[in-house]
Amino acid sequence: FHTCQLSQDDLPICLVLSQKSKCFTIILGNSHKMVYLLTDSEEMREKWVKALRYAMQLEQLAEQKNESNNWIKIVREAFNKADLNGDGHLDFEEVLKLLKSLNTDIKKKYARVMFDEADKNKNVGVSKTSVLDREEFVEFYNRLTKRVELEDIFLKFSNGKGYMNIRDILGFLRDGQKIVDANEDQCRNIIDQFEPEGRCKKSDLLSVDGFRQFLISEREQLFNPSHRVVYQDMTRPMTHYFIASSHNTYLAEDQLRGPSQVEMYISALKKGCRCVELDCWDGPDGQPVIYHGYTLTSKILFEDVIRAINNYAFQASPYPVTLSIENHCSVEQQERMAQIMTSVFGDKIWSTQTDLIRTPTPEDLRNKIIIKGKRLPSITERDADVSDEDEAADIPNNETSVNNNKTKRNSKIQKIKLSPALSKITSMKSVGFKTLEQSAQPDSFFSVVSLSESKVERFIQTNPLELNKVTHNRLIRTYPAGSRTDSSNYIPMPMWVHGCQVGYLFTVLLEERFKFVTGNLNRSANSMRNVKLTIISGFQFPKPKNSQKGEVIDPFVKVSVHGVAADEAKFRTKVIQNNGFNPRWYETFSFKVKVPELALLRFTVKDQDPGKDDFIGYYCIPLSSIQEGYRHFPLYDKHDNIYRQSLIFIHITISSA
């Protein structure tokens, strides 16, 4: 096989011409960088794909097999990173370079003391200087990463002993972690899984090293592990749920010149997105294409996208996936679209030709594909005109100049011809917006109203109750303003708070982890909560990409509460100078949350710099998914890639007000 050097614009056509059945693509991480490969035969391609998938499965199993290996993995990665010449030993200079890369400003003299204390075997390297082998490096690394804040908690709950017995662990789970129903069997399981010392394990004791491994394990993190699967009641009407959605899903970069990629649909679906957008236009040889019309973005085949959706629609969730069709095709190519979807999806397509007695539920529509778009009147069996008033309203009039060629769009409502074949499989009806009062009226079809970002914001300010009434019977789809050509996202929280269920966001730069589906709200008479949050420390923060060589960051943490207007709040810690390795804050913030069902906590780590502070990472979590007590959580970059070794350590309690 060899790497295909293809331009993005020519890619779909070239793959067809070069026997597409022999090609496959490797997608690298959330950055969506791709390697296109062509094999000698279809059989060879299948062998490679099968082998690569098997290797990926083995890696995933190894990561999931034993949480107690996390710390060992971190140490091993640090050693390999520092062992520049690959001789299996580290001299003092290599260790100093490691300390710089780990974002810590430890004095050379102090580092030398730790190095000499760890050098038990007194080995000498090629350069005739002292070196550490792997076992000695583990000792050095444990000294380096010694976390006083964890040892203080350990001493508190062990009553000053050098170990925790079953009774101590039980006290920590109940009082420290707020697990009121904890029992002794759970304590023994913790020792068995996380205690590294054989003698302690045999005596049912937990050492400080075992306690540290337990606290950084995934199950003890801030996010409640039971919420990693759908835990809400999914038998209510679809209008009762927020739906994770993507706008212009196909675009990998900006909205005017960027490439369109099939892989963007795969990425969105694997992250749990339940509604994707397809902008469909006439293509060559009778094959419809997808791209951002009136721009220089590249084109991809409609059929390629449909096949990708079919393969990945239900990997992350069994609940329905909606294809939002923005239709600009001729009747002939609309019929081709219907033929492709019917052939590929088969009985996965949900369609109803009769009036709905009730709005379907997510449970009714498990593993179903919903086609959203225009529908013909039921009495019509031939193509007819329908309005496109809610179609592609996000490109402003007097369109932005691209290569000095301006394209103007008519602001008046236009008519498009609609194919009966496409109308027949369309089960979510796009309805043009007239007024809030008219839109609030019940519809015999499963329907959706589309509103622009600015229009929704205006209704929130002027008529919020009427806006909410519309959501009782219909879905409201909100989408970004056409001026957001850089793929930046609006803040969806105000729309969600007022009931808008389908908030279209650009998945290219989705900076917040808002990708979840939340069930309908069942509020008690007194649901207000008191939240007490202490930011204790951080661990191994990365450097900003634009940082200078040898620079050590000055981190601080910003905490913001998102929800109803009365719950919005912001806090920030002090700056810790020259320590991105293990900064400690011990700062406490207290606040009330009136509507906890809609509240999100967002943590942002920044590096203080003259002029503009540098973004390091963030974490966002629903208040309802938080585990109380002493908890860690990881950081993510702006492209939603996780920093696996970077952690923030907090203590949080949530009580009734």
In 3D, which of 193, 186, 248, 184 has the Cα closest to residue 218? 193
Same domain, 576 and 608: yes
So what's the pLDDT on residue 29?
A: 61
Quote the CA–CA distance of 34 and 211 in Å, as a whole number: 41
- DSSP classification of residue 639: T
In 3D, which of 98, 96, 93 has the Cα closest to residue 107? 96
- How many CB atoms are closer than 10 A to CB 93? 11
Quote the CA–CA distance of 320 and 306 in Å, as a whole number: 15
Same domain, 353 and 384: yes
What mean pLDDT, rounded, does the chain reach?
Answer: 81
pLDDT tens profile 143-194: 777 788 999 999 999 998 889 999 999 999 999 999 999 999 999 999 999 9
Same domain, 382 and 309: yes
Residue 313: is its pLDDT beyond 90? yes
Order the strands of the 123-124 sheet from edge to edge. 90-91, 130-132, 123-124
In percent, how much of the chain has pLDDT > 90? 40
Active site residues: 247, 292
CATH number at residue 248: 3.20.20.190
So what's the pLDDT on residue 21?
A: 79
Question: Would 290 be classed as within a structural domain?
Answer: yes
In 3D, which of 90, 62, 64, 87 has the Cα closest to residue 75? 90
pLDDT tier for residue 550 given thresholds of 50, 70 and 90: low
Residues 530, 654: contact at Cβ < 8 Å? yes
Q: Which amino acid is at 20?
A: K
- How many CB atoms are closer than 10 A to CB 221? 17
Same domain, 253 and 366: yes
Residue 255: is its pLDDT beyond 80? no
Question: Would 634 be classed as within a structural domain?
Answer: yes
Phi, psi of 432 (to 5 degrees): -70, 140
Q: What's the N-to-C CA distance of the chain in angstroms?
A: 65
Phi, psi of 185 (to 5 degrees): -60, -40
Quote the CA–CA distance of 158 and 73 in Å, as a whole number: 28
Residue 51: is its pLDDT beyond 70? yes
Same domain, 651 and 605: yes
Question: Would 133 be classed as within a structural domain?
Answer: yes
Phi, psi of 26 (to 5 degrees): -105, 120
Could you please report the per-residue DSSP string of 357-409? SS---TTTTTT-EEEEE----TT--S-EEEE-TTSSTTSPSSPPPBTTB----
What is the rounded radius of gyration, in angstroms, for the C-alpha atoms of the chain?
28
Question: Would 400 be classed as within a structural domain?
Answer: no
In 3D, which of 164, 160, 163, 123 has the Cα closest to residue 140? 123
- How many CB atoms are closer than 10 A to CB 517? 18
So what's the pLDDT on residue 393?
A: 43
Same domain, 52 and 123: no
Question: Would 404 be classed as within a structural domain?
Answer: no
The number of domains in the chain is 5
So what's the pLDDT on residue 353?
A: 65
In 3D, which of 290, 326, 284 has the Cα closest to residue 308? 290
CATH number at residue 199: 1.10.238.10
Same domain, 134 and 160: no
Question: Would 451 be classed as within a structural domain?
Answer: yes
pLDDT tens profile 88-147: 888 888 888 777 776 566 678 778 888 888 888 887 766 678 888 878 887 787 777 778
Element at 138 (helix H, strand E): helix 134-144
Q: What would the mean pLDDT of 468-493 be, rounded to a whole number?
A: 75
551 or 244, which is more confident: 244
Same domain, 98 and 201: no
Phi, psi of 570 (to 5 degrees): -140, 140
Domain boundary among 87, 115, 145: 145
pLDDT tier for residue 508 given thresholds of 50, 70 and 90: very low
Question: Would 231 be classed as within a structural domain?
Answer: no
Residue 412: is its pLDDT beyond 80? no
384-387 and 415-418: which strand pairing? antiparallel
- Measured CA to CA in angstroms, residue 65 lies from 22, 151, 199, 209 at distances of 35, 27, 23, 20
pLDDT tier for residue 482 given thresholds of 50, 70 and 90: low
Q: What would the mean pLDDT of 298-314 be, rounded to a whole number?
A: 95
Residue 495: is its pLDDT beyond 80? yes
Domain boundary among 44, 65, 86: 65
Q: Residue 159's domain spans which residues?
A: 148-220
Same domain, 256 and 385: yes
428 or 395, which is more confident: 428
540 or 522, which is more confident: 540
Q: What would the mean pLDDT of 625-648 be, rounded to a whole number?
A: 90
Q: What would the mean pLDDT of 328-337 be, rounded to a whole number?
A: 96
- Find all residues with CB under 8 Å of 116, minimum gap 6, and list them: 130
- DSSP classification of residue 613: P
Alpha helices, H only, 414-492:
420-424, 436-439, 453-462, 464-473
pLDDT tens profile 415-427: 778 999 999 999 9
Same domain, 216 and 293: no
- Measured CA to CA in angstroms, residue 653 lies from 191, 223, 466, 641 at distances of 25, 14, 37, 28
Question: Would 6 be classed as within a structural domain?
Answer: no
Same domain, 121 and 249: no
Q: Which long-range CB contacts under 8 A does 232-235 form with residues at least 24 apart?
A: 232/517, 232/518, 232/519, 232/520, 233/519, 233/520, 234/319, 234/361, 234/362, 234/363, 234/519, 235/361, 235/362, 235/363
Same domain, 161 and 130: no
pTM for this entry: 0.74
